[in-house]
Chain A
Amino acid sequence: MDAYANIITMSIVIETHDLSREYKTYQKPEGVMNSLRGIFKREYNSKIALDKTTLTIESGKIIGLVGANGAGKTTLLKILSGLVTPTSGDARVLGFKPWERNYEFLRQISILLGQKNQLWWDISPVDSYALLARIYDLDVTAARKKVNDLAEMLQCAHVLNTQLRRLSLGERMKMEIIGALLHDPKILFLDEPTIGLDIVAQENIRNFLANYVKEKEPTVILTSHYMDDIATLADRLLLISKGNIVYQGTVDEFVLNSNSELAQDEKVDFEEVIRRFLETESRIR
C-alpha cells in the first residue's frame, strides 16, 4: 500500500455498511382479559429505526445529523457509540466495532444525550469529574485544571460544587458537556446538546462548541432541531428520513441544490429548506 492510500484510510474514522436496527415492542392490548392472556402469550411489533445505512465520515469533520422526530438519529448515534447493537450490517468506528465496547474504543469517544443525565445525580459535578478522571485514567491535577478552564469558558464555575439534582436544566447541560469533554474524546456524539435551553444559553453553548472543535479538532456528529446549531457548527449535513440517509454533503450545496429546483425568483435559506423537507415528509407519512 502506498503512502497516499494510507493517509486516505487513516482519515476515515467512521464507516458503516448497510447498518440497520430493528426494535421489537410489545403491543399491550386493552382490557383485563387481554392482559391476562398477555401473561402467557405476547404479540410483538417490529419497527425498523435504521435501515441499511452506509456512510463514511472523515476525521475532524463536524457532521450535522438532521431529520424529523423518530427518523432514527438517536438510534444511529447509539449504535456508533456502542450503546446498542445493530440487528444487521456492519460498522467501524476508529477501527473498532462499537458494540463490542472495547475499552480502548470507549476511552476515545463520548456520547452526550441531551435528554438524559449522565453525571451522577446525587453528588456534585466536581465529585463526578473526579470519578470520571479515575475511570478514564486521567492525571487528577490536569483534569481538575481542565474542568476549571471549561467551566470558565461556559461561565458556570459557580455551580461546580452543587449537587447535580439541584441545578437548572441549562446549568446541568453545561456540566454534562464538561463531563463529555474531560477525556479529550477523538469522536464526540452530541444528541441535542441545546434541547430545552433559552436562546442565550443555546448561543453560549454553540459558541463554546465552535471554539472547542477549532482548538481540539475532534470528529463530531451533532443532532439538533435548532437549525442555527447545524448552520453554525456543521461542515457537512446528513439528512435522515425514516431510517434512511437521504442526503450527504455540505450545507451550502444542499441549499444551492434546493434553490436550483425552485422557480427563478425564489430564494430560501437553510432553515426554510429544512422546513420544506420536513413538511413534505410529514405529508407522505
Chain B
Amino acid sequence: MKKSFAVFWKRNLAFAKLAIVSNLEYRLNYFVDVIVQPVLTTGIEILLWFAVFKGANVQTINGFGREYYLSYALWAAFFARIATSWMYEFRMIEEISSGTINSLIVRPMSFYEYYLSQLLGYKFITTIISLIIPLIAAHYFNLPTIYSRVPLAVVLCFYYLILVHTISFLVCCVAFHLTKISSFTVAKNLLFWILMGELFPLDLTPEPYKSILLKLPFAGGVFLPVGYITNRIGLNEMITGFISVTISLVVLNALASVLWKKSLATYAGTGA
C-alpha cells in the first residue's frame, strides 16, 4: 500500500514535470496565457466598474466602494484564468477522438491522473508568475487587499481545479460517443465563468439566486477566494466553499468512474 502510493506519487510528479517542460517550449503561448489574457480581461472589467459607478452616481454598491470593485475585478480575472481548463480539456477530447488514447490506456496508470497531474503542474507554473501582476497592481494602486489571505484563497482555487478536471473527465466520457464536442466545452466554460463570479461578485445577485450561487461549488473558483482577499467574505464562507467542492468531487467522481468504464467497454480502439 505504502509502496504503491510512492509509485503513484513519483509518476504523477513526472506527469506534472512533463506539462511544465512541454509548455515552456511554447514560450509565446505561455506568455499570452499567463499575462496577456488576464491583463486584458482585468482592463475591460475595471473600465466597466468605472463606468458603472460614474453612470449610477453612487458612492457604494451593496455596501462596498468603488475601490473594492476595482480590486475584485483585478483579482477575479487572474483567478478565473487559473480555475478554467481550456487547453487540457481540448487535449483530452482530442486524445479520444483521434485514438491516441490507445497508448495511455494500456499502461499501468489512469487517464484521469495523467491529465490531472499535468493540469496541476501547468497551473502551478502559470500561477506563480501571473499572480505577481495583481500583487504589484493592488499594492501600487493601493486597492483593498488582505495579502495574508492570498495563500488560502489560492489553495481553494486549486482544490476547485480538481473539480474542474473531473468535469472535463465527464465531458470525455461523452467524447467516446459523440465526436467534435469542443463547442460544448466553450459553452460550458462560459457558463462557469458567470457561475464562478468572474463577471461580477456573486453577492450582487438578488435572493434566492444569491444563496444558491454561493452554495454551488463554482463559487470556489473565483468568488470565494477573491471575495476573501478583498474582504467581502470571511473564513466561514471559505470553509463552506471547501465543503461544497468536496461533496461535488465525491459525487461527480463516482459518476465519472461508472461512465468511464461503460464508455471504454464500447470503445473500438480507433478513436471515436
Contacts and interface: CB of A to CB of B under 8 A. Distances in A.
Nearest to B266: A85
A111 interface: yes
Nearest to A163: B25
A146 interface: no
Given A123-B18, A134-B10, A84 B268 contact: yes
Nearest to B18: A131
B105 A101 contact: yes
Contacts of A116: 99-100, 102-103
B14 A130 contact: yes
The B contact surface, by secondary structure, is helix
Which of A104, A122, A130, A134 has the largest number of chain B CB atoms within 10 A?
A: A134
Interface string B4-24: 000100110111001001100
Contact of A84 (B13, B14, B21, B267): B267
B264 interface: yes
A113 B265 contact: no
A162 B99 CA distance: 24
A197 interface: no
A118 B102 contact: yes
Given A106-B108, A116-B102, A123-B22, A83 B14 contact: no
B14 A85 contact: no
Given A123-B18, A131-B18, A85 B108 contact: no
A135 B268 contact: no
A83 B102 contact: yes
Interface string B102-115: 11011111000000
A99 interface: yes
B65 interface: no
A109 B264 CA distance: 19
Contacts of A101: 105-106
Contacts of B100: 116-117
A181 B255 CA distance: 36
B269 interface: yes
A83 B107 CA distance: 10
Contact of B106 (A85, A111, A120, A134): A111
B102 A82 contact: no
Which of B25, B107, B265 has the largest number of chain A CB atoms within 10 A?
A: B107
Contacts of B14: 130-131, 134-135
Contacts of B7: 137
A104 B4 CA distance: 12
B25 A122 contact: yes
Contacts of A134: 10-11, 13-14
B265 A106 contact: no
Contacts of B264: 85
A136 B268 CA distance: 25
A81 interface: yes
Contacts of A123: 18, 21-22
A101 B265 CA distance: 11
A40 interface: no
A111 B100 CA distance: 13
Nearest to B26: A122
A135 B12 CA distance: 9
A4 interface: no
Contacts of A109: 106
Contacts of A130: 14
Interface string A28-55: 0000000000000000000000000000
Nearest to A113: B102
Nearest to A77: B269
B6 to A, nearest CB: 9
A123 B13 CA distance: 17
Interface in A85-109: 85, 99, 101, 103-104, 106-107, 109
A12 to B, nearest CB: 22
A136 to B, nearest CB: 7
Given A84-B268, A116-B100, A131-B18, 18 more contacts: A81-B106, A84-B269, A103-B108, A106-B106, A107-B108, A109-B106, A116-B102, A116-B103, A122-B25, A131-B15, A134-B10, A134-B11, A134-B14, A135-B11, A135-B14, A135-B109, A136-B107, A137-B7
Interface of A: 23, 75, 78, 81-85, 99, 101, 103-104, 106-107, 109, 111, 113, 116-120, 122-123, 127, 130-132, 134-137
18 contacts: A23-B268, A78-B269, A81-B106, A82-B105, A84-B268, A84-B269, A85-B264, A85-B267, A101-B106, A106-B106, A106-B108, A107-B108, A122-B22, A122-B25, A131-B18, A134-B10, A136-B107, A137-B11
Interface of B: 7, 10-11, 13-15, 18, 21-22, 25, 99-100, 102-103, 105-109, 264-269
The 5 closest A-B pairs by CB, nearest first: A118-B103, A103-B108, A134-B14, A84-B269, A106-B108
